[in-house]
Amino acid sequence: MAQRLRRVLPLLVWLGVLWGPGVPTILARQAAAEAPIKSRLADSPKALVDEVWQTVGREFYDPAFNRIDWLQVRSELLGREYASKDDAYRAVRTALKKLGDPYTRFLTPREYQNLLEQTSGESIGVGMNLGTVEGSGVPVIVRIFPDGPAARAGLQVKDQIVAVDRQSVAGLSLDTVSRRVRGEKGAVLTLTLRRGSGKLLTVTLTRAAIELPAIKARLKQEGGFKLGYIQLQQFNAKAGREVRAALDVLGGEGARGWILDLRNNPGGRVDAATEVTSLLLAEGAIVSVVDRTGERETIRATGRARTDLPLVVMVDRGSASASEIVAGALQDHRRATLVGMPTFGKGVIQQINGLSDGSGLNVTIARYRTPSGREIHKKGISPDVLVSIPEGVRQKLTASGQWGSEADEQYRRAAAVLTEQLQKTIGLEVPDG
């Protein structure tokens, strides 16, 4: 199990064979026919279908396969004809739904590459994030990364996207517009923009490799104390390194306590979650991973914490998987006070599998529990201090760049909790109001 975990940790909570009860039996029953079948399926859509079936058979965390006959599923899949790869993709997705697990899913080649980019911390594009204008659905720039093509071309937050490569985006979904903006490194992109209520602007950019920062960090002054605020947006390959740097820099600038904002963080890599936790937790268990056989392996803090200053962690319904590993460990060890709303409740781990045609397959391979043994799947983690904000307010804060500011009620409460802790540690009376 320990060797297996070392292969799992660089992947997702949101690579390797696990043999569980029932799976050797299924595959043994197929052994005699396996070679001739593979020969007939080579370079056909059926080859992909069979590849997906076998991957799930080896790795899916439920050895009972949601009480369905997984061998019969294979017979059904291989007993039909496929006119194209897209036809096979649809059949695979239908079969996977029978497992009753929304996280075991098929990825097209484009979706697979996008996922790899997200977890690596690098993407090909022009260095901006898109959102929509409230009430209209018009795509608008909500963030521009420093030193990227968009920043160098003078694009601005709130610029509206009218056309991509001279093709109107009216009526298109935000995801579709985002895909059109992305592309191959070095490829030229032409954007038509509307700035404010003014005339249209046409800008030509060249797509490039964009570093995707995992965090936003700054020193804030609250209640007479300097506080280090770290908004961790996703657990990609660079998250641990960036959090470590922020702790060092802001600590050197006089931070007396920390606010770690995990709101709206959907998770990411397991190793990134354990690395971040180890920066904040001196010792003890971080998470226990339970595989399909019931075997458990506990991942512990490295003993190389970067700080022992008071800590508040902000969470909400958008805090999932890897975020919940961090929040659960820090709460169980009483290392941090959690402020905000209950978390999402995703307590399972996925393995990313690349398939032969460039597509991908996410397979749930294990469950995890917090250090105290809490099973959080479909339950979430309850904060110590409950503070709710309406969804409409949350969206406005995000779109206006006021997330983590005085306009943010959850942030204000988190800062108040932290400053109260700091006041108590130095023996000061907590002022009224």
Q: Output the CA–CA distances (angstroms, integers) from residue 232 to 83, 94, 249, 260, 376, in the order listed.
A: 45, 35, 16, 7, 21
Q: Whole-angstrom Cα distance, residue 400 to residue 297?
A: 43
Compute the Cα dihedral for 271, 275, 276, 282 and give only its sign: positive
User: Which of 123, 238, 261, 346 is an active site residue?
Assistant: 346
Sign for the CA dihedral angle at 414, 416, 420, 423 comes to: positive
User: In the annotation, is 319 catalytic?
Assistant: no
Alpha-carbon distance values, 267 to 16, 117, 277 (Å): 22, 14, 13
Residue 298's nearest CA partner among 310, 290, 288 is 288
3-state secondary structure of 92: helix
346 catalytic residue (yes or no): yes
Residue partners of 6: CB distance under 8 A and separation at least 6: none
332 is catalytic: yes
Catalytic residue from among 123, 319, 321, 359? 321
Cβ contact 316:265 at 8 Å: no
d(CA 416, CA 157): 31
> Cα–Cα distance between 155 and 60 in angstroms, integer?
45
Alpha-carbon span 140 to 239, nearest angstrom? 27
DSSP class of residue 430?
A: P
Q: Distance between CA 88 and CA 77 in Å, rounded?
A: 9
**Terminal-residue alpha carbon distance, the chain:** 53
Q: Are 415 and 422 in contact (CB under 8 A)?
A: no
User: Residue 55 burial (CB < 10 Å; 0-12/13-18/19+)?
Assistant: middle
Give the active site residue among 50, 261, 291, 332. 332
Instruction: Report the C-alpha gap between 170 and 173 in whole angstroms.
Output: 9
Residues that are catalytic: 321, 332, 346
